[in-house]
Amino acid sequence: MVAEFDPIIREHIRRAQAHEIQYTYLGPKIQNKLIQTLAGEVRSAIVTKVKHAKYFSVILDCTPDASHEEQMSLVIRCVDESMDSSMVQEYWIEFLKVDDTSGLGLFTELTNVLTNLELDVDNIRGQGYDNGANMSGRHKGVQKRLLEINPKAFYTPCGCHSLNLALRDMANCCSKVMSFFGVIQCIYTVFSSSPKRWKIFKDKVEGLTFKSLSQTRWESHVENVKPIKEQSVQIRDALLDLANIAEDPKTKSEAESLATYELENFEFLLGMVIWYKLLHAFNTVSKFFQAENMDIDETIKLLEALILFLENYREFGFASAMDEAKQIAIEMGIETVFREKRNIRRKMQ
């Protein structure tokens, strides 16, 4: 693959295939050693910059990998003076395999890796984690244990994670919202279960596609709501086609139910319009949080604008959402009324 773009590697492989050289350095062990050597050189260069800056911040985050082992990523933030103008840079150092995910276990892993890198813990001036108890806990979290040995390591919670938690808790407090996103996940699951079903989806829907719902980045749900909002008719037709050709009774029933009782439900369409507006606003703020040139003052103004938007939408947004939902319902040929549930009368004993 590298030889396609590098003439030196291309010539080396040609000589190896022609048996003009005895040592090819193409074996897997040699290749892994080369990669580790390159990684070591890059890490050494980063550590040199951090030592030159003296003061730095640490950013940690844990996630399970494909082999279901917990990995903690270590990022160091410092002032890089190697360029023409000094800039604050973030450098990813490495993945750390952790067996103990408690606050003490993560803190021990952090101090061990900093010791191996010959970085002084007393020079830490900032620490940033998510809102997990093992990371940001006030009593036994990593931030508390680091503050005990270095009171100058100021802790800042992750703004994006805090925003996502607020959005997730807002959604989980309403059963109708949980059902709404459950329907979106079911639509994705029905089509993605096999290549044949996905082909049916692609034949009908030529525009935006959708992915499985993310449980960690709630504002990214806007990428799942947008395709259904803009292509409701096409997705419904794809579900009906799937129901007509499906040989599995379960698949047929699921496709018919999603097309008839969910997508053709005016309440679902209204919720789709409302949640797209809300998620779009949250996603804009979250993207700004992740920008390299993020400014604290601008962030505060953006959060204030988001709060003002939510207050105005609560007061005046319902009418516009109703009009947009009715327009989508007319295009789909369904009634613009809410379905009434039958009241269940129980006998008095």
Segment 25-32 shows an average pLDDT of 89
**109 Cβ contact list (under 8 Å, min separation 6):** 72, 96, 98, 100
pLDDT digits (tens, 9 = 90+) for 181-221: 888 889 888 888 888 888 888 888 887 777 788 777 777 78
Burial group, residue 127, by CB count within 10 angstroms (0-12, 13-18, 19+): buried
Two structure tokens written together for 40:
């070591």
List phi, psi (to 5°) of 126.
-165, 150
If you average pLDDT over residues 300-304, what whole number do you get?
A: 84
Q: Which two tokens stand for residue 59?
A: 């950013």
pLDDT of residue 57: 92
Tokens at residue 195, please? 């290549």
The pLDDT of residue 293 is above 80: no
80, 89 Cβ separation under 8 angstroms: yes
At 251-275, the pLDDT tens digits run 888 888 888 888 888 888 988 998 8
Average pLDDT of the residues of the chain: 86
Mean pLDDT of all residues in 38-53? 91
**Residue-level pLDDT at 24:** 86
How far is C-alpha 120 from the geometric centre of its chain's CA atoms? 32
pLDDT above 90: residue 33: yes
13 exposed, middle or buried (CB, 10 Å; 0-12, 13-18, 19+)? middle
48 has a pLDDT exceeding 80: yes
pLDDT at 7: 93
Tens digits of per-residue pLDDT, 154-171? 988 887 788 888 888 888
pTM for the whole thing?
A: 0.72
Residues 6+ apart with CB under 8 A from 45: none
- How high is the pLDDT of residue 213? 81
Average pLDDT over every residue of 54-74: 84
pLDDT cut 70: percent of the chain above it: 100
| Sequential DSSP letters for 164-227 | HHHHHHHHHT-HHHHHHHHHHHHHHHHHHTSHHHHHHHHHH--S----PPPSS-GGGGHHHHHH
Q: What does the pLDDT average to over 301-318? A: 85
What domains, with CATH codes, occur in the chain? 51-157 (3.30.420), 163-332 (no CATH)
What is the b/e burial string over 62-96, where b = at least 16 CB atoms within 10 angstroms of the residue's CB?
Answer: beeeeeeebebebebbbebeeeeeeeebebebeeb
Q: What are phi and psi of 38, to 5 degrees?
A: -65, -45
197 to 202, 232, 254: CA distances (angstroms): 9, 17, 13
pLDDT tens readout for residues 271-282: 899 888 888 888
Q: What is the pLDDT of residues 82-141, one digit of tens each?
A: 777 788 888 999 888 888 888 888 888 889 999 999 999 999 999 988 877 888 888 888
Q: For 287-316, give one letter per residue: b (16+ CB within 10 A) or e.
A: ebbeeeeeeeeeeeebeeebeebbeebeee
Q: Which residues of 44-56 are buried (b: 16+ CB within 10 A; e: fewer)?
A: eebbebbeebeeb
Contacts of 287 (CB under 8 A, 6+ apart): none
